[in-house]
Chains A and B, each alone.
Chain A
Amino acid sequence: MNTVNITIDEKPIKAEKGSTIMEAALANGIKIPHLCYQKGLSIAGACRVCLVKIKGRPGMTASCTTEVAEGMEVTSTDEELNEMRRLIVELILSEHEHNCLVCENNGQCDLQDLAYELGIDKIRFPVNKSVEPIEDSSEVILRDPNRCILCGRCVRACAELTVQKVLDFAARGSKTYIIAGLDQPLVQTDCVSCGACVQACPTGALTEKLARFQGRSWEFRKVQTTCPYCGVGCQLKLNIKDDKIVKVYGVEDGPDNKGHLCVKGRFGFDYVHHEDRLISPLIKRNGKFEKASWDEALNLIVTKFKELKNKYGSDALAGLSSAKCTNEENYLFQKLIRACFGTNNVDHCARLCHASTVAGLARAFGSGAMTNSIREFEKADVILITGSNTTETHPVIGDYLKHLATYNGTELIVVDPRAIELIEYAKIWLRQKSGTDVAWINGLMNVIISEGLYDKEFVENRTENFDKFKKVVSKYTPEKVEEITGISKEKLVAAARMYGKADKGSIIFAMGITQHTTGTDNVLSLANLAMLCGNVGREGTGVNPLRGQNNVQGACDMGALPNVYPGYQSVSDEQAKEKFEKAWGAKLSPKVGLTVVEIMDAASKGKIKGLYIMGENPMLSDPNLNHVREGLRNLDFLVVQDIFLTQTAELADVVLPGVSFAEKDGTFTNTGRRIQLLHKAIPNIGDSRDDWKIITEISERMGYPMVYRSPAEVMDEIASLTPIYGGVHFDRLEGQGLQWPCPSREHPGTPYLHKDKFTRGKGLFTPVDYIPPAELPDEEYPFLLSTGRILYHFHTGSLSRRSKPLDSIAPEGFLEINPQDAEKLKVKDNDWLRVSSRRGKVEVKAKITDRVDKGVVFMTFHFAESAANLLTNDALDPVAKIPEYKVSAVKIEASDYIDS
């Protein structure tokens, strides 16, 4: 680090060159008063209370706007400065009547603190009396202009962190005020309810609406933990009063979120205290659930599983682990299934989202995860984003991408069949026909090779199989690609040049790429593209799958997969098997187990008899739900462990109440391979039990004791058996966590993979040809249905639908349909439609929008009332066994359904 020597109040300080006096002071624990400065936002220099004196310079200087210089001698406080600050704060206090008595932020208000520190005992100025109404249209944010000091932190947070630009200053001079949109109530604006403005506000002008009158700052216990929604792994600070989560802040030092959160992560945690929480075990008797004691429930489970195992063999049992549960829980779960049940029939919903990523990247590079770190995106010159509606599915990363495109000069290329929000920030948007990804990626590479834009040295030294690959790619001329994908050849060439010429090109993708029968091929193609341009193994480059669930990366890492033990050690590898047999003291099956969809299929065929599901809801998440129901109903015995009675739990014989993220210790591994801690913040709700303890209880009662005193001990065992987690121990994870591979206690973790060598040695080019999706529209089913998520809900909604603010903002599902199609079908906005496929039908309201192309419709799968997965196709990718959620054929008719 390039430093300069300065002194602040005679204390010598080494300050980073180019930093401001304010930053240098704060970094060294010197508090210079400030109101408009906020770390992570641009500088305003508006409040003027941070003025300091610099020796040799006349007057006073704002410390937030002034860069440090060698030898600078700063006085941060003296009587003259305090005199000046007092008068300024008195001015602020005279602008409105600041009534702290009933202010939500009493006790955590920068203005209040400053007034107190400066010893202001009276305000010499006449105090303005006018009182403005509070604006409360938003479900989550209250705006009280009477407490606003116009520091502009909310404006900058909205513009720079969320990049929504909903807030701004209006009018001028003493009439200046903060507006939303065209001076509208928030609810009428583009506000995405992320609450960045609330967190930024130094006073009580912006507060959490639902936390109002729920507690004073000093009453809160604050617990840092990891967000349980998506895979970004945002660090949260829960504010707890009387064992209830009242409000949530983003942790400024959170390595990947840097204080930012989305609406779910800030306002979506009331589900934890929802009245629907399961508070005791349930046993189904005569088709009805009855409360049961833990002993009763566990004994029944053990008896049944033992019985089934004895009667039908180990492979008649299966388990679905959970991408929502911790690493420790996933580890124990797969250990239970493997070592105690004696089968490899364990899988989880990664199968449904990124199985093809794991398969594809493992094949090409040797490691199936995000190659680089989230915060490296700012180092990239060009980012290609495909099949990821990032701003809704990974909002904190989405906002970060918007920020980079807006303020960092990063060029975005978006390839997506839908007109997602990110296209507004993209230099180039390619709109491909759904399911034609291999074709356009090959097309890009065709151009890159023919124009000589590829990294010959990298290809030569770091990869293999280039020639065979090149041969296949040579067929994908821009003309041919245009024919297949609908992308104009000019745009394709422009995109190829942009990515091909970038010094650092990064690729981001998600389920738009993976959820296809050609999912693995799609991923392999992206891997080919990155290798072709030498965009692997360097900072700011890479192939970066954004993983959907909070711990889907971890659940995979922990071996909640039918073919691998923890750390991707193959069950068919004799050495690995021996290692685990020895460690676990049990005989293990060498046979690769069944995947999620295969388990459901086997259940319906009577081959799987007993199933243990922890924290998953296949009755909403899996494709072809009618078939799933058939399978689950056909089971002899189904155990579901969850925090709510989900659609799946309703079909169970025994339901076990687990706990939410707020009640547990453990770790999640985010999409950037970062292992982060969860801290137990509140006691278990009702008679619910820690999920890891439930697993060990079952195991013990089945005659296979697993004894641990804490999740930390479980992690110690994981570390001893999993080389990529070899150095991961709880005592190292506070703060920034660790990114795997972390092979030893001394290892600092790995921000990006494949630096000088691919995990598998050389990067492998795989020639891939375009294959159309399994089911395309035809005369009977003329529309192509694609599915995905929306910002306000998560996965099957078992959590987010039980959050009052989230479900109030987005209470129902919808079908996006193009205006031209709507006109043809004589459909108006909000009309009820019946959508049917070869597998099922749902009733859903129409949302007319050109986000979708003609002939294409889109639905989310969050809503049980209009479950998109009744329609989706369970055709599988042959390698990864991931279903083709993104393409199925449907027909649309008017419906006489009436809203209940």
Chain B
Amino acid sequence: MVKELKSPVRIVLENCGKINPESIEEYIAQGGYKAVNRVLQEMKPEEVINEIKASGLQGRGGAAFPTGLKWEFTSRAKDTPRYIICNADEGEPGTFKDRPILEGDPHKIIEGMIIAGYAVGAHYGYIYIRGEYILSINRFQKALEQAEEHRFLGEDILESGFNFQIEIHQGAGSYVCGEETALMDSIEGKRGNPRFKPPFPPSSGLWKKPTVINNVETLANIAPIILKGADWFRGFGTKECPGTKVYAVSGHVKEVGVVEAPMGITLRKIINEYAGGMRQGKFKMAQVGGTAGAILGEDMLDVSLDYASLKRKGLVLGSGAILVMDETTCCVDMLKCFLNFFKRECCGKCVPGRIGTEKLLEITTSISQGKGKEDDIDLILQTAKVMQKASLCALGQSPILPISTILKYFKEEFIEHIKGRCPTGVCKI
């Protein structure tokens, strides 16, 4: 089980740890599938879309695109069939916020998918679960079978005339497949190369058909919104970013784990109130949003952790992963670690992604070995900037954020390395 910190609100994690995830009866007893029932019996597809639009729900995968709008675009696409995809390819380092839902409350995701399917006129859904999430896959498979038995899936669901089926697609080890178009290529049985956009999935997605692709956490919000209404949902979080967010906290804090909190909570509050404060040393920095996220220094401890506030500062909330690092951490070493990840997971299709990630790592490695040159810092920045502008997908566009922010705070430490000294003693020079 994923460790959950003491969440102040529980919407998506509501049932996690509370019910037996392998029992649909327990889920139903908690009010499960009521939302599907309501949607199918009482609501027109447009009404569902309008409700989601009104809730202000944004994509919890990190891009924060308004979910209702995505559904609306897809529902208006001319082509058929249409598809629903649940993106459960949780691979952003430090992110383990979908896993508790997949393992602890799979029916909630199924419910969200059925509702999405009804709203956009899709009869097929895929859930793409990363291959490493064995327990998630098994639990979800069981949940699907139970939902079929209970006729929440299949033909003529609850005698509404609506048909919907879901199939699991297992990932096979690729971070970039979490990128929505790469994920679709992967379902299609291809190499997981991200596609260029436009076209966007709502007009041309899986098998070039209109497709809604939503993150696990996003879909877990659907049933509650349907049952309790958009206004209720807007009662949480900020005006621009309503609802809660599941933050995944790791690193040098006393308590690691997930915590569901209203959008806009501060980093300081998460570290101090929910994660029990720093483990031992003094706070040095935190990376928010996963490896693709920015490094936040002490001055940012009170920034509101929601999409809009961070965006205004040129930062991202991303998946909501928070990696907290104390002063024993060497930032050159950490950057090397981040860059190693990008290099390993890059698909290799576009030049900036493929060679850029490789060269960034090479140069940073040489700095960490004391072999760097003064110009290297500039070259790293310039390269990352070009990658940001020119890369085909978000992976290649991402390194600029950790690089520019870590340099903003700790450029001196890089220069120290170039001069032949690792201040923390982590790097062997």
Direct A–B touching in the complex (beta carbon < 8 Å)?
yes
A residues engaging B (CB < 8 A)?
43-49, 51, 59-60, 62, 65, 83-84, 87-88, 91-92, 94-95, 124-126, 149-150, 152, 169, 171-176
Q: List 9 A-B contacts (CB under 8 A).
A: A44-B349, A46-B351, A48-B390, A94-B355, A125-B355, A173-B343, A173-B344, A174-B354, A176-B349
- Contact assessment for B355 and A48 in the assembled complex, using a CB-CB cutoff below 8 Å: no
- Structural contact, A45 and B350, CB atoms closer than 8 A: yes
B191 touches A51 (CB 8 A): no
- Contacting chain A: which of B8-16, B57-65, B357-365? B357-365
Q: B204 CB to closest chain A CB, in angstroms?
A: 13
Asked if B359 and A91 make an inter-chain contact with CB atoms under 8 angstroms apart, the answer reads yes
- CB-CB nearest in chain A for B197: A65
Within 8 A of A (CB), among B164-200: 174, 191, 196
Considering the chains assembled together, what is the distance between the CA atoms of A152 and B348 in angstroms?
Answer: 11
Q: How far is the CA of A59 from the CA of B391 in the complex (A)?
A: 11
Cβ-defined partner of A91 (8 Å) among B174, B349, B351, B375:
B351
Q: Assess whether B383 is interfacial by the CB under 8 Å rule.
A: yes
Contact across chains for A171 and B350 when beta carbons are under 8 A apart: no
B391 touches A91 (CB 8 A): no
| Given A46-B392, A48-B392, A172-B174, CB of A125 within 8 Å of CB of B359 | yes
Q: Let me know if B201 is at the binding interface, CB within 8 A.
A: no
- B351 engages A173 (CB within 8 Å): no
Contact B351 A84 (CB under 8 A): no
- The answer to whether B386 touches A84, judged by C-beta atoms less than 8 angstroms apart, is yes
Q: Tell me, in angstroms, the Cα distance from A318 to B359 when the chains sit together.
A: 75
Q: Once the chains bind, are B392 and A174 in contact (CB under 8 Å)? A: no
Report Cα–Cα, A176/B359, bound state, in Å: 15
Chain B, interface size category, equals 20 to 34
Interface positions, chain B 112-139, Cβ under 8 Å from A, are none
CB neighbours of A152 from chain B (8 A): 349
Interface contact A48-B351, CB-CB below 8 Å: yes
* B354 near A47: Cβ-Cβ < 8 Å: no
The interface residues of chain A, by DSSP majority, are classed as loop
Contact assessment for A172 and B350 in the assembled complex, using a CB-CB cutoff below 8 Å = no
A393 to chain B, nearest CB (A): 33
- Establish whether residues A169 and B390, one from each chain, have CB atoms under 8 Å apart when the complex forms: no
Q: Which residue of A lies closest to B396 (CB)?
A: A48
Chain A residue at smallest Cβ distance from B349: A46
In the bound complex, what is the Cα–Cα distance between A88 and B344 (angstroms)?
20
A125-B379, A125-B383, A126-B362 given. 8 additional CB < 8 A pairs? A91-B355, A95-B358, A125-B362, A126-B363, A171-B348, A172-B348, A173-B346, A174-B355
- Chain B residues with Cβ below 8 Å from A91 are 351-352, 355-356, 359, 383
Question: Bound state CA distance, A87 and B382, in angstroms?
Answer: 9
Which of A62, A125, A149, A174 is B357 in contact with, Cβ under 8 Å? A174
A48/B391 contact (C-beta < 8 A), A88-B352, A173-B347 known: yes
Q: Does B389 contact A (CB under 8 A)?
A: yes
Please judge, given known A-B contacts A87-B382, A126-B362, A174-B358, whether A47 and B350 are in contact too, CB under 8 Å.
yes
Asked if A94 contacts B359 (CB within 8 A), the reply is yes
CA distance A176 to B351 in the complex (A): 11
- Name the residue of chain B whose CB is nearest to the CB of A43: B196
Q: Is the beta-carbon distance between A45 and B196 smaller than 8 angstroms?
A: yes
Do A60 and B390 have beta carbons less than 8 Å apart? yes
Contact A46-B350, Cβ < 8 Å, known A87-B383, A88-B386, A124-B379: yes
Would you call B196 and A88 a contact (CB within 8 A)? no
**Contact B352–A48 (Cβ < 8 Å):** yes
Complexed CA–CA distance, A319 and B391 (Å): 67
| Distance, CA A95 to CA B379, complexed state (A) | 16
A186-B187 Cα distance, complex, nearest whole Å: 29
List residues 326-375 of chain B with CB under 8 A from any CB of chain A.
Answer: 343-352, 354-359, 362-363, 366, 375
| Distance between Cα atoms of A126 and B376 in the complex (Å) | 11
Docked pose: A829 CA to B352 CA in angstroms: 51
Contacts of A126 in B (CB 8 A): 359, 362-363, 366
Closest to A176 in B: B348
**Bound: A150/B382 CA distance, A:** 23
Contacts of A46 in B (CB 8 A): 349-351, 392
Beta-carbon contact of A45 and B392 below 8 Å: yes
